[in-house]
Amino acid sequence: MGIHLQQAVSVGQYLVSQRLKGRKRYPLVLMLEPLFRCNLACSGCGKIQHPKEILKQNLSPEECFAAVEECGAPVVSIPGGEPLLHPQIDEIVEGLIERKKFVYLCTNGLLLEKSLDKFKPSSYLSFSVHLDGLQELHDECVDRKGVFKTAVSAIRAAKARGFRVTTNTTVFEGTDPKEIQDLFDFLTDIGVDGMMVSPGYSYEWAPNQDRFLRKEQTRALFREILAPYNDGKKGWQFNHNPLFLDFLTGQKDYDCTPWGSPSYSVLGWQKPCYLLNEGHYKSFKELLEETEWDNYGAKSGKPECVDCMVHCGYEPTAAQDSLQPKNMARSFSSLFG
């Protein structure tokens, strides 16, 4: 089972309730960034390029809880930076679980194994470990040897302790589809609970801008990567709505719903989304009501949006589309393999 059944039911009820209320724009996943600091310097990430005075800051647990309450999304993803560097990350996670939010704590895995005592297994908690390939490829992507082995050891340790563990893989230009397929086989063998995969987005501040995919490149690459899965030859478990995977391979054509994955950090509510660096609002209400949403997404023609196919922009679109009667069977397939 890729997506946890309890989460799928809760999110489904939430989606239906929003539709019944007549709401066109509503959040599905809050990207809660309690800090930007990291213990790696990956070439495809722009987050650690913030000034030092910003990198030193943390959100307090109270600020995190206030953002979660204000937003109301049923799922909270905690990226960074590296969240396990936050001195109160256990308090933040515990508070979110008490609020019955489905939490994905995103980590590069370097601190995970030694941090497990801070947490308790829960159906509301998943550790999402970033792995962009098997050992050689992943260590190259993060620019440090030994990271893959450390992360895999942490995954095994977390699973042995009863934690739910998923993985997050970002695919860049030049990636060999076979390497990603081999990664999915390996992760399946070690028992991860679900895998996420997404094309990389060209962060303005990312050091290496040559590795990001154009839309047609993305579709062609994911058709190759997912061919054994779509042909029924591989039983990989993805932590995605399968409609999003159809979008990646070009079977679906969606527009972005950036309000579906709003981002809150030490700087405030990022506008218009997690990926663009266009400033911040003080409140979620301002984000929803003052953003000129028609200026964003592939159909807008905005250069930064034209080739973007990242999950945080399009997974919410797929979730909305899953409510269509013709798509329900396909969506439910993610629950039962």
Provide the pLDDT for residue 147.
Answer: 97
Beta-ladder partners of 167: 129, 195
- Nearest 5°: CA angle at 274, between 272 and 279? 50
Chain mean position to CA 6: 19
Q: Inform me whether the pLDDT recorded for 336 exceeds 80.
A: no
pLDDT tens string 143-167: 899 999 999 999 999 999 999 999 9
pLDDT class of 273 with cuts at 50, 70, 90? confident
Q: Nearest CA to 36 among 24, 45, 26, 25? A: 45
Residue 63 CB partners (closer than 8 Å, separation 6+): none
CATH, residue 156: 3.20.20.70
* Residue 270, SS3 per DSSP: strand
**Taking the alpha carbons of 229, 233, 234, 235 in that order, is the dihedral positive or negative?**
positive
Domain, as residue range, for 291: 5-336
Spatial separation of the C-alpha atoms in residues 105 and 97, rounded to whole Å: 12
Beta-ladder partners of 31: 77, 263
pLDDT tens string 56-69: 999 999 999 999 99
C-alpha distances out from residue 124 to 43, 96, 166, 310, Å: 31, 9, 13, 24
**Is pLDDT larger for residue 121 or for residue 50?**
121
Domain total of the chain: 1
